């Protein structure tokens, strides 16, 4: 087979219809856009939500809730996850566990407004935690394992 013998399968390619090239082309004069109106104008694009000029249905629906822009958003971690990451070697149990050490160990990906330790799971390692907030069950589990919790604001 030679390069000059190669060809496309039948129907694989189509010629692009050239519009606005005279009446004889079949797409002359208005170039398939019809007469007048928004769609006949150059550059006329509407939003996907446009409904012909009537009141938009999205604006009829009530809005729900309220997002407080001043709310504190904490990075949360369960003690079961801390135990898992200590076992995998991502966290060093001998160091203080702070939000910075969790970011270094790639346990968390951003700082947020502080660290909150939650008490879901079992803790076997003795750890020293520096956190902004913690649950009572997390504090009990950490103290029971022989560790400490320090508050940082």
Q: Map out the domains of the chain with their CATH numbers.
A: 18-65 (no CATH), 75-151 (3.100.10.10)
Task: Answer whether residue 153 shows pLDDT above 80.
Answer: no
pTM confidence score: 0.58
Among 103, 104, 109, 117, smallest CA distance to 147 is for: 117
pLDDT bracket for residue 48 (50, 70, 90): confident
* pLDDT attached to residue 2: 94
pLDDT digits (tens, 9 = 90+) for 54-90: 888 888 888 888 989 999 999 999 999 999 999 998 8
Report yes or no: 127 and 142 within 8 Å, Cβ to Cβ.
Answer: yes
* pLDDT attached to residue 59: 85
* pLDDT attached to residue 144: 94
* pLDDT attached to residue 49: 82
Pairwise CA distance, residues 50 & 77, whole Å: 45
pLDDT digits (tens, 9 = 90+) for 101-134: 999 989 999 989 999 999 999 988 899 999 999 9
Report yes or no: 132 and 114 within 8 Å, Cβ to Cβ.
Answer: yes
């Amino acid at each position: 087979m030679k390069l000059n013998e190669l060809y496309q399968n039948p129907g694989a390619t189509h010629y692009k219809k050239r519009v606005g090239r005279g009446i004889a082309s079949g797409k002359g004069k208005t170039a398939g856009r019809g007469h007048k109106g928004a769609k006949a104008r150059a550059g006329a694009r509407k939003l996907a939500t446009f409904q012909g000029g009537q009141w938009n249905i999205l604006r009829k629906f009530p809005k729900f809730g309220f997002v407080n822009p001043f709310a504190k958003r904490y990075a949360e971690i369960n003690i079961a996850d801390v135990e898992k990451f200590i076992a995998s070697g991502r966290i060093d149990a001998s160091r203080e566990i702070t939000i910075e050490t969790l970011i270094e160990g790639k346990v968390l990906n951003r700082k947020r407004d502080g660290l909150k330790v939650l008490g879901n799971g079992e803790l076997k390692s003795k750890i020293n935690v520096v956190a902004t907030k913690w649950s009572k069950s997390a504090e009990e589990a950490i103290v029971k394992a022989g560790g400490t919790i320090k508050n940082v604001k």
